[in-house]
Structures are given as C-alpha cells and as structure tokens.
Structure 1
Amino acid sequence: MQLARIHHLLQVAILLAVMVLSIWLIGDVLMVVFAATLIAVILHNLAAMVERRTRLPYWLALSLVVVVLLAAIGGLGWSSGPAIAEQATRLRIALTTQAHSLRGQLNASTMGRTVLDYLPQSLGGNQAGGGDNGMGSRIAGSMTGVLSSAFGAAGTLAVILIAGLYFALSPALYVNGLLRLIPPGHRPAARTLLLVAGRTLWAWTAGQALDMLVVGILSGVGLWFIGVPLALALGVVAGMANFIPYIGAFIGAVPAILLGLSQGTREGLLVMALYAAIQFFEGNVMAPLIQRHAVQMPPGLTILSQTVFGTILGLPGLVLASPLTAALLAMMDRATPPLDEEDRV
C-alpha cells in the first residue's frame, strides 16, 4: 500500500512538473490554442442555438453565424470605422501630449522627481532598465514566443480565428482525439470535465460580452454628456478593456481621466465620479445578475490569476487569465467531492 501511494505521488509530481515546464517553454503556443478553443466554443454555441431554432444542419447554421458576424463587423466598420479610427488617432496624440505634460509637472517638484526616479523608463520614469541577464529579461524573452516573432500580431490573430473556425466545424473530432490520449479507465471522467469546461467558457464569455456592452455604452454616453472629447473612442476602449475583470476597469478609465484633466479639474473629477459610478453599478447590479446565470469567480483569485499568467505569459496571459481560471475552477469543482459540514471553516 505504501508503494502504491508513493507511485501515485510520483505520478502527480511528474504531471505537475510537465505542466509547469510546458507553460514556461511553450506558453505562447498554449495561449494561442486556448484562444482558438475559446473562439470555437463561442461559434459552436451560437451555431447550436441557430440549429435548435431553425432546424438547419449544423454546418449550415455555423456558416450562417460566421456570415452574420462578418457582416456585422463589416457594417460597423463601414458606418463607424472612419469616425472610430479618427478618434483613436486623436486619442493617441492627446494621451501622448498629456503624458509629456504630466512628466514635466512631476519633474518640476521634488516629490514628483522622486516618483519618476523609481519608475522605469517604459512607464515614463527616469530609472534605467536592468541588464540582459536578469530574471525580467528572461521572462520578457519567454513572452516573445515563436508565433509572435514568426507571424506578428496580425498573423497570430489569423491563426487563432482560422483554428477556432475549424475546431467549431468538427468539435467532436478534436475532443475525441484528445480523449484517445487518456487511459481508458479515466476517459469517462475526462469527458465530463471537458464538457464542464466548455459550458463554463460559454457562460463566462456570454456574461462578459453583456458586461462589456453595458460598460462601453454607459462610458461613452456619460463622457459625451460631461463634454469630454473623443467620447466614442473612450467608450470603445472602456468596453474592450472590461474583458479583463477588475484590472480592465482601471485600464479603461486612465485615458478618460487624463483627457478629462486636460479640460480642467472639474471635468477630471466628473470623469472619475462617472467611472466610479459605472463600476459600482457593474459590480453591484450587473455582476450579480450575470453571475446568477453565468460564472461566479472569487475576486481575489481572479486578480491573482491575472498576475500569475500575466507575469509568465505577458499580455496574452493577462487577457485570457479569467476564462482559463473559470474553466479550471469548474473542472476542479466537478472533479473533487464537496466538503462535509464538519470540515468547513
């Protein structure tokens, strides 16, 4: 019995070691695979909804979904694309100007220079970067990735979309191929966990899409009402940034606050109050309604997962940390028995 326990512990330790080493060495490739899987889950569930409502064959329902999505994106680009592109260009110029102005104001005071001395140059500070042999350089090197260096961002996005489309076209083919790699005795449990992960990813994505839409509309309308320039572009930025829970709220608010301060202290304070009200509404009204039908994730674990994946895998890890964590939590919840009442804290 002791030998059996040791053998089991060695198996678990080897499996964990292989997983950690794989994430470290080919993390960028794994993120591309996961992103393609997320796209496939979205397309598959949309096609399944169309299939149930219209009685069309699955391949035809999927084709209809893809055509509608492409038409919607093309229509949005045709109608609002020039305005959004123009405002995005003006937003970049305005933010660059504001950043230089803020740096000059900080340099004019002793406290400001102290703050800049402790900030790296990549964030506008005075601190020089470290040598090439530091841990940060090694992590940054691992973030580059084979796909990013070979294809660039546009090529990687194309790979994700094409792979996701093929995954959605024949999902059973790829899932069954993955199950064949698992020992026969564990295949029923693995099948159940994969189905749970797929349902969780769809629920998380649907809920987050609704959340992004509401935050983007409220931000754009509120900024327009305050009189902040480039309200359309700032609303789009706020909605897109909200794909990353918690951290995305700050990322989306910073450009609007900087532009608000450029108009005056009153406008800057109004923008801060606007984003605080939107996040209060999102966290206390929208999130409970969405989580009732979608996925409930502990905030502390969400932020911790974003920190870990973002540090190891860079921006892709930060963006995909939340859906990945949601799927892992759902799989662990199904794979492990619930606690007895006397075992609870």
Structure 2
Amino acid sequence: MSDGAGTREEAPGPTDNSDPLTLREFKRAIVWVAVVVAVLLLWFLSEPLLLIIGGIVVAQMLDGGVRLLGRILPVGRGIRLAIVATLVAAAMVAFLAFAGTQLTGQAQALQSVVTHQLQSWMDWAHERGFLPAGSGVSEIGQQLMGSFGKVTAALGTALGALSSMAMILVLGLFIAMEPRLYERGIAWMLPMANRESFYETTKEMGSTLRRLMAGRLLGMALEGVFVAIALEIVGVPMATLLGILTGLLAFLPNIGAIVSGVLIVLVGFSAGTDTGIWAIVVYVSVQTFDGYVVVPMVARRSVDLPPALVLGCQLLFGALFGILGLALADPMVAMVKVLLEKSSALKAEKAEAAAAEEAA
C-alpha cells in the first residue's frame, strides 16, 4: 500500500513472463530440455527409427524400378509397382530356393574352414610371439563384436534379422505405393513458409537415394559375378558361395570389402598355397576394377561421398546401432548431405535477397 508520499515501484518477479529477461531464459531452458528429450528418444527408439529409414531406402529403390519400367511400359504407376514388387519377390524366392538346396552345406563347410584357418594362423602367430598365449579365435571374435551397441543384440539373431528385414520390406512397399501421401503429411506439420523448401529437399533426397542405391546394386552384382567366376577358374573351393557373400557384403562400402577379402583369402589358402595366392590376386583384381572403373562411373551419376566420411560414419553407427546402423550409414550420410546443402543454398538465397533490398 502507498502512504500518500509517493508511488512505490515494483519489479517483475521470477514468475512474471512479462519480463523480457525471464521470458528469454525460459525459452532457452525449454530448448535445452527439448534437445535432451530428443536425444533420449532417438537412443531408446533407435531400432524402430532405423527400420523406418530402411523402409524409406527400400521405397526409393522400388520407386527407381517403377520409374525405369515407365520408360518402356506406358501403364499406371500402380501396375508398374506391382510388376516390380513381383519380380523382386520372385528373385528372392529363387535365391532362397537355390541357397537352401545348393549353399546350405557350403555355408557349414565355410564356417569350419574359416575357423580352422584362423586357428592355424593364431598358432603360427603364437609360436613367433606376435600374439599372447591363450588368445584364440573365440576370444578375438568376442573382442571384435563387443563394441557393438544394444541394438545388435536385438537384431543379431536370425529371427530378429528376418523379422526386421520383413518389416523394412513392408514399410518400403507401403511408402512406395503412395509416397506423396506421407510427404504431404509431414509437410502439413511444418509452417507454410517452409513447405516449398521441404518439398524441394525431399525431392532431391529421393533422387539421391535412387542413384546411390542403383550404383550400389550395380556394384554388388558385378563384384559377386566376377568373384564367383574368377574363383571357380582358379580352383578356390565354395566359389559360388563366396561370390554371393562378396556381392551381399558390397552393400557395405569399405567394411564389406575387407570382410569378403578375409573370407576369400582364408578359403583360398585352405586349398593350398598356390590357390591362396590366386585368391589374393582375384580379390585385388576385383577391388581394383571396382575402385577404378565401377565406382568412378557410378559416382558421376550418383552422390559423391568422401570415403573417409563414409567409413567414419559406418564405424560410429555400427558401434551405436549395430549391423542395421552399419548397413544404413551410407544412405543416412547421403540424406544429411542433401539436407545441409539445401539449407545452405536457402540461406544464401535469403542473404542475397536481403542484400538486394538494402541496395535498392
């Protein structure tokens, strides 16, 4: 109350949002809390998020097949998508049938051969003091796989891998059916001023993913066929299985080539020193052809990603999210690159427009 001698001045309290300082600090606190919550959600929801990203990648691969088929078959998009999906399903069934009848025994033999060869090399290294006594194949394998995160445990079993692959395929098929529906749904949650740039960014992301996956599939096919034929010629056992594994592992740039190379060399030396040397020659020749012919040819029509950046992201995502993160590292890096490039271009356009207005 006032005593009549003057008016008492009151300062805003900490709960008074009319104070600019309080309001600014409150907004900062909300932003930091939101960032922490977002990081926690990304961590705990990493597996379903990776499945969704995998579905988007599959959808773009199907969309690429639909677009390619549209050049030679003038029918509706739904019919073309059904044709592509049917061909993919038939190819997978044929591969599984072939694998079940021809490669099951070879796969068991491959495991035995690789384990025996690794143990022989370990014994040789023990005798010469390169490795400490007591370390074997199982211990080294546990050390190599121990760095993978908790998602690996969920996806590491055969049942988990099959269910995850089925979910990715189903998501990809649903997204490929009506891609504009999901695109408009996400854009609806954005401000009107940002929707046009969102559509441009998603269009560029889709084009980048299609070109990236087309190049990846081409490289997988070439490496698998060349390795199988060359290993069969030089007399390496299980050449067909090694060719299929090389083709599948080629989906993982850098790391896949190392793993397939180790398998080829181990199996080659199991048949003798000369065969092992020829296996090394085949592996080096295929990787050289891929690095100097296939990769440059694909890079000219696809996204150009620095190899060190891809490898670093593969190691990071593999350690955090397991094998699925390792497989999707390349597409995620490509999408982030497109997002950053579009964001930078938009900021540059706004800066130029502001400079032009000031000059006028």
The TM-score range, normalised by the shorter chain, is: 0.7 to 0.9
Aligned pairs for 1:20-59 within 5 A: 20-59=39-78
Say which SS state the counterpart of residue 169 (structure 2) adopts. Answer: helix
Cα RMSD of the aligned pairs, angstroms, is: 3.2
Match status 1:215 vs 2:223: yes
For residues 27 and 342 of structure 2, the distance between their equivalents in structure 1, rounded to whole angstroms, comes to 21
Match status 1:69 vs 2:78: no
Residue matched to 1:308: 316
Which structure has the bigger radius of gyration? Answer: 2
For residues 225 and 264 of structure 2, the distance between their equivalents in structure 1, rounded to whole angstroms, comes to 14
Instruction: Point out where structure 2 has 5 or more consecutive residues left out of the alignment.
Output: 1-19, 349-360
Residue matched to 1:133: none
Shift of residue 338, structure 1, vs aligned partner? 9.9
Deviations 1:183-209 (A, max 9, x none): 222121122111111111111000010
Match status 1:282 vs 2:300: no
Aligned pairs for 1:315-326 within 5 A: 315-326=323-334
Match status 1:89 vs 2:108: yes
Residue matched to 1:188: 196
Shift of residue 288, structure 1, vs aligned partner? 0.8
Alpha carbons of 1:12 and 1:321: their partners in 2 closer, same or farther (altered >3 Å)? farther
Residue matched to 2:207: 199
Instruction: Point out where structure 1 has 5 or more consecutive residues left out of the alignment.
Output: 131-135, 341-345
Match status 1:334 vs 2:353: no
Residue matched to 1:140: 149
- Counting matched residue pairs gives 327
Give the residue type in structure 2 aligned to 1:123.
G
Shift of residue 243, structure 1, vs aligned partner? 0.6
TM-score, scaled relative to structure 2: 0.80
Deviations 1:39-94 (A, max 9, x none): 11111221233234322121111111111222233334445652233322221222
For residues 115 and 193 of structure 1, the distance between their equivalents in structure 2, rounded to whole angstroms, comes to 55
For residues 202 and 103 of structure 1, the distance between their equivalents in structure 2, rounded to whole angstroms, comes to 43
My pick for the range that moved more, 303-312 or 261-270, is: 261-270
Over the matched positions of the two proteins, sequence identity in percent amounts to 27
Match status 1:253 vs 2:271: no
For residues 73 and 308 of structure 2, the distance between their equivalents in structure 1, rounded to whole angstroms, comes to 42
Give the residue type in structure 1 aligned to 2:255.
I
Residue matched to 1:241: 249
Give the residue type in structure 2 aligned to 1:57.
G
Give the residue type in structure 2 aligned to 1:25.
F
For residues 29 and 92 of structure 2, the distance between their equivalents in structure 1, rounded to whole angstroms, comes to 51
CA contact (8 A) 2:126 2:132 kept: yes
For residues 45 and 202 of structure 2, the distance between their equivalents in structure 1, rounded to whole angstroms, comes to 22
Shift of residue 228, structure 1, vs aligned partner? 0.7
For residues 53 and 255 of structure 2, the distance between their equivalents in structure 1, rounded to whole angstroms, comes to 21
Residue matched to 2:165: 157
Residue matched to 1:103: 122
CA contact (8 A) 2:58 2:172 kept: yes
CA contact (8 A) 2:62 2:84 kept: yes
Q: Which runs of 4+ in 1 moved over 6 A?
A: 2-15
CA contact (8 A) 2:52 2:168 kept: yes
CA contact (8 A) 1:47 1:58 kept: yes
Alpha carbons of 1:73 and 1:212: their partners in 2 closer, same or farther (altered >3 Å)? same
My pick for the range that moved more, 91-100 or 300-309, is: 91-100
Shift of residue 141, structure 1, vs aligned partner? 3.0
Alpha carbons of 1:198 and 1:267: their partners in 2 closer, same or farther (altered >3 Å)? same
For residues 30 and 74 of structure 2, the distance between their equivalents in structure 1, rounded to whole angstroms, comes to 47
Shift of residue 109, structure 1, vs aligned partner? 3.9
CA contact (8 A) 2:269 2:275 kept: yes
For residues 141 and 123 of structure 2, the distance between their equivalents in structure 1, rounded to whole angstroms, comes to 14
Alpha carbons of 1:200 and 1:11: their partners in 2 closer, same or farther (altered >3 Å)? farther
CA contact (8 A) 1:59 1:169 kept: yes
Deviations 1:237-278 (A, max 9, x none): 111111111111101111111111222233222222221221
For residues 280 and 97 of structure 1, the distance between their equivalents in structure 2, rounded to whole angstroms, comes to 29
Residue matched to 2:14: none
Shift of residue 336, structure 1, vs aligned partner? 0.8
Say which SS state the counterpart of residue 116 (structure 1) adopts. Answer: coil
My pick for the range that moved more, 263-272 or 320-329, is: 263-272
For residues 69 and 9 of structure 1, the distance between their equivalents in structure 2, rounded to whole angstroms, comes to 50
TM-score, scaled relative to structure 1: 0.83
For residues 115 and 272 of structure 1, the distance between their equivalents in structure 2, rounded to whole angstroms, comes to 29
